[in-house]
Chain A
Amino acid sequence: MNKLISIDDAVNMIHDGMTIMVGGFLGCKNPFRIVDAIVEKGVKDITLIANDTAFPDIGIGKLIVNKQVKKLIASHIGTNKETGNQMNAGELEVELVPQGTLAERIRAAGAGLGGILTPTGLGTVVAEGKTIIEVDGKEYLLEKPLKADVALIVGAKVDKKGNIRYRKATRNFNPLMAAAADLVIVEADEIVEVGEIDPDDVMTPGLFVDYVVGGNK
C-alpha cells in the first residue's frame, strides 16, 4: 500500500476543533510544510499537544501567533512570547505538563494504558486535583493518557509504507505521538521505496502511520 499523499490532501483532513499532536522540540523540526499549510487554511479552535510552541516565526509557533489554537498542552512556552501573552489575556487556555510526564501520558495512550504513576509534580501545583496513589510506601501522581485526533510528525527518511528513520535530535516526541492518534501523518525529508530502509534501522514501524507527505529534503 502506497501511503504517499500531497500536502493539500493532508491538510484537507485537518478540521476546526480537532485535537492535534505535533512532534518537535523548540522548532528542532516540526512538520513545517504541513503546519504552514494549516496556517494558510486557517483551521481554528485547535487543541494543540506539543512539547512547546517553538518560536513566533517558526513551525507551530505560527499557529499561536495566528490565533488558531484554543487550548495548548505543553511543557514549555518560554520561547514564544505570544503564547504567554494570549494566556495572560485569557485568549488561550494553557495546561503546563512536566516534560517527562507529557511523554509518558502520550506513550500511555498509544500503549493502551489507563495512565501512569509518577513522582514528578508531587507537592507542586501540578498535583492539584489529581489522585495520589501509594505503592510500596511511596507516593505517586496518577497522570492520565493523552490522545489526539491527529498526530503530525516528522521523519528524516520514510518509505512508502510509512516506516520511519529519524535523524539526530529530531526523534523526541515523534515515535510516541505516532501511536497516540486516530490519524497519523508523517512529513518526510526524504521519501524512499519500501525496502530501502534496513529493518534494523526502522525506528517507528509503518503500521502506526496512515499517510506520508513531503520528500526531496
Chain B
Amino acid sequence: MDKNMEKEFIARRVAKELKDGDVVNLGIGLPTLVANFIPEGIEITLQSENGFVGMGPAPKEGEEDPDLVNAGAQYATINPGGTFFDSADSFLIIRGGHVDVTVLGALEVDEKGNLANWMVPGKMVPGMGGAMDLVTGAKKVIVAMNHTAKGSHKILKGCKLPLTAVKCVDLIITEMGVMEVTDKGLVLKEINPEFTVEEVQNATEAKLIISEDLKKMEI
C-alpha cells in the first residue's frame, strides 16, 4: 500500500467503530478522512471544537464562507439541524462527556494508553489546542495513525515526549492492526493479513498481547 492508500485503509477501519447517533470529533489530517467512509445506515454528528455541531462536507468551489471554517481553519459547511455556539459551550460538550468518540493522531502512544501528540521540545511546539480536553473528556478515544514513523517506533512501553493526557487512549488503529488498551497492556485484536504477528510486534516497542480471538482486519 502506498501512503495514501494506507491512510484511507486506516480511516475506513476507524469509520467502522462509529455507531448510529454518535457525536464525533475528528482531528486534523488522517482523522478528517474518516468522515468520507461512514457506513451506510449510520448517522453521526460531527463536532468542530471552534464552535459547532453538524459539520457537513467541504464546500464546493465558489461557495466558501470565511465565517464558517473547521478547527483547522479549512472552509466547512453545516448540515440542517446543526448549531453554532461559543468556545465555553464547545468545551462543555467536549469536557463534559457529551462527545462519544474522538479520533486523533499521535506522535507516541504507550501500553498504558498515555498519549503524546502536541509537541517535540526544541523542534515543534504548535500547542495543544483542544487535544488535551478532547482526550480527557470524550467517552472513547481512538488513535488513528501509521504504525511507525520512518521506521521508528510510535507505540512504546512508555511515552518519552510531553504527554497530552495520562491513560486516555482506548483503541489504536494503524495500517498493521487494531490494538485495544487494557489493564494488562496492549491487546492485538485484529491484524492486516498483509503482515505477520511477528512483523507487527517488531514494529511495536510495547509487548503486544495477542488476542486468542485474533481477527483479520477488514474495512
Residues of A within 8 A of B (CB): 25-29, 51-52, 74-79, 84, 87-88, 96, 98-104, 107, 118-126, 156, 166-176
CB-defined A-B contacts under 8 Å, sample of 9: A26-B71, A76-B127, A77-B127, A88-B122, A99-B87, A119-B137, A166-B84, A168-B78, A169-B51
Given known contacts A28-B67, A168-B67, A75 and B130 CB-to-CB distance under 8 angstroms = yes
Quote the shortest CB–CB distance from A123 to chain B (angstroms): 4
Query: Is B155 in the interface zone, CB < 8 Å from A?
Result: no
Known: A99-B91, A168-B67. A76 touches B51 (CB 8 A): no
Query: Closest approach, in angstroms, between the C-beta of A72 and any C-beta of chain B?
Result: 10
Stretch binding the partner chain, chosen from B37-45, B159-167, B174-182 = B159-167
Q: Within the assembled complex, what's the spacing in Å between the Cα atoms of A98 and B118? A: 11
Q: Is B50 touching A172 in the complex (CB atoms < 8 A)?
A: yes
Tell me how many residues of B have a C-beta within 8 Å of chain A: 41
Q: Using known A-B contacts A123-B163, A124-B166, determine if residue A98 contacts B132 with beta carbons closer than 8 Å.
A: yes
- Asked if B88 CB lies within 8 Å of chain A CBs, one says yes
Given A75-B130, A125-B162, A168-B67, 18 additional A-B pairs, CB 8 A: A26-B50, A26-B72, A51-B87, A76-B128, A78-B129, A96-B125, A103-B86, A103-B91, A122-B136, A122-B166, A123-B163, A124-B132, A124-B164, A124-B165, A126-B128, A169-B52, A170-B67, A171-B51
Q: Does B68 contact A (CB under 8 A)?
A: yes
Give the nearest-CB partner of A87 in chain B: B125
Option from B86, B94, B162 in Cβ contact (under 8 Å) with A124:
B162
- Closest A-chain residue to B55, C-beta based? A169
Most A Cβ at <10 Å: residue of B51, B69, B88, B166: B88
Q: What is the distance, in angstroms, from B189's C-beta to the closest C-beta of chain A?
A: 26
Q: How far is the CB of A78 from chain B (nearest CB, A)?
A: 3
Among candidates B73, B86, B130, residue contacting A174 with C-beta atoms closer than 8 Å: B86
Contact B127 A26 (CB under 8 A): no
A3 to B146, CA, bound (A): 55
Known: A98-B130, A98-B133, A123-B165. A169 touches B76 (CB 8 A): yes
| Chain A residues within an 8 Å CB radius of B87 | 25, 51, 99-100, 102-103, 171-173, 176
Task: Choose from B76, B126, B162 the contact partner of A77 (Cβ within 8 Å).
Answer: B126
